[in-house]
């Protein structure tokens, strides 16, 4: 018997494959294609206290082996999420992780407090301190160790659910940021968010995206993300969720072997919405072939 379950500190998932924030909405568009309960979890679109319209278009551009996005946290805000989206999701019994972002510490604290008591469909809170596409907040909190540990500490005090901190790759040394999040009380780290990039439209001679700068995701970033997971695994005690350009089982295995106990799939769901389910089946076959009863046998093995 193969056990596909994975344990991330206080969080137990049925499979190690999750949908990455910003790429699966609140799950509704995918519900007709699959049973959402077969996913390890869905990390829902970034939520802020007040509704946000997001950035001016264009917001997405394709790049070699990836894409650049500058959505800018478009979302309906906390109140609409609680009154309109959550009751519907509650019925579907999906495992949801709320991804939250704020301009101030206070906003993060209010969001975490409200969401932690919102209902048992929410199984964890992910602090987005790594959004590269907003003017204030977001990445600001994720690039300075002292600022990050202070924020995590404050959220920790009100957060009764497992607390995940999502790290940005746009720093010189991710390990000091990771340790700051751990010191502040994070249960789990997820990494990484997108890499800041730019595409210039050579006809108009201006940056292509309305926001000028965007975040690079997809296979182009995979080796960069695997390296960051590998280094972070060696620097902290808490479990990791890896992501960046995962499309095939071999990609996911690289993250597991680097030290991730679960992985998230983002951009690949745009081209094939069934990617996560395909990978789940392929992982089961792989473990069977390798005579491994569970994923535990490969997490972090690349460290020797
Ligand atoms: C269109 C788009 C929107 C995203 N929105 C969010 C977001 O709201 N919050 C967040 O933490 N990450 C967001 N991300 C980052 C992804 O969750 C993920 O970290 C990144 O895309 C790398 O994974 P991938 O290469 O599999 O896409 C977004 C990514 C994309 C492509």
For 20-69, write each residue's pLDDT tens digit: 999 999 988 899 999 999 999 999 999 999 999 999 999 999 999 999 99
Backbone angles phi, psi at 86, to 5 degrees: -60, -45
154: which residues sit within 8 A by CB, 6+ positions away? 105, 108, 109
- Of 194, 221, 222, best ligand 1 pocket probe by most atoms within 8 Å of the beta carbon: 194
Is 70 exceeded by the pLDDT of residue 119?
yes
The number of distinct structural domains making up the chain is 1
- Please check whether residue 60 lies inside any domain of the structure: no
Q: In this predicted structure, what is the pLDDT of residue 135? A: 63
Q: What's the pLDDT band for 15 if we cut at 50, 70, 90?
A: very high
List, in sequence order, every beta strand (DSSP E) within 177-259: 188-191, 195-197, 200-201, 206-207, 214-217, 240-243
Q: Output the CA 289–ligand 1 centroid distance in Å.
A: 32
State in Å: Cα 293 to ligand 1 middle: 31
Q: What single-letter DSSP state applies at residue 213? A: -
On the question of pLDDT at 279 being above 80, the answer is yes
Return the CATH number at 156: 3.20.20.70
pTM for the whole thing? 0.97
pLDDT 10s digits, 162-206: 999 999 999 999 999 999 999 999 999 999 999 999 999 999 999
Better-predicted residue by pLDDT, 220 or 136: 220
> What confidence score (pLDDT) does residue 273 get?
96
H/E run at residue 130: none
- Active-site residue identified among 68, 131, 241, 295: 131
Q: What range defines the domain where residue 38 resides?
A: 6-54+71-195+217-303
234 in a structural domain: yes
């Amino acid at each position: 018997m193969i056990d596909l379950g994975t344990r991330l500190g206080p969080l137990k998932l049925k499979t190690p494959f999750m949908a990455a924030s910003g790429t699966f909405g609140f799950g509704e568009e995918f519900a007709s294609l699959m049973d959402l309960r077969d996913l390890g979890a869905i990390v829902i679109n970034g939520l802020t206290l007040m509704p946000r319209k997001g950035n001016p278009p264009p917001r997405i551009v394709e790049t070699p082996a990836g894409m650049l996005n500058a959505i800018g946290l478009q979302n309906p805000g906390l109140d609409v999420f609680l009154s309109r989206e959550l009751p519907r999701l509650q019925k579907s019994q999906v495992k949801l992780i709320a991804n939250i972002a704020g301009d101030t510490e206070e906003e993060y604290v209010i969001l975490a407090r409200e969401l932690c008591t919102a209902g048992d469909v929410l199984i964890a809170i992910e602090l987005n301190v790594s959004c590269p596409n907003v003017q204030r907040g977001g990445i600001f909190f994720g690039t300075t160790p002292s600022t990050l540990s202070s924020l995590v500490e404050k959220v920790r005090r009100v957060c009764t659910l497992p607390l995940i901190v999502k790290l940005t790759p746009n720093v010189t040394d991710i390990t000091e940021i990771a340790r700051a999040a751990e010191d502040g009380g994070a249960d789990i780290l997820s990494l990484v968010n997108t890499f800041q990039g730019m595409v210039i439209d050579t006809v108009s001679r201006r940056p292509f995206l309305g926001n000028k700068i965007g975040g690079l995701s997809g296979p182009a970033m995979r080796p960069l993300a695997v390296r960051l997971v590998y280094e972070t695994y060696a620097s902290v005690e808490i479990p990791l969720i890896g992501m960046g350009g995962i499309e095939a089982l071999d990609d996911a295995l690289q993250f597991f072997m680097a030290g991730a106990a679960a992985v998230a799939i983002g951009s690949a769901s745009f081209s094939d919405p069934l990617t996560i389910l395909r990978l789940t089946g392929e992982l089961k076959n792989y473990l069977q072939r390798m005579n491994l009863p569970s994923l535990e046998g490969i997490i972090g093995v690349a460290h020797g």
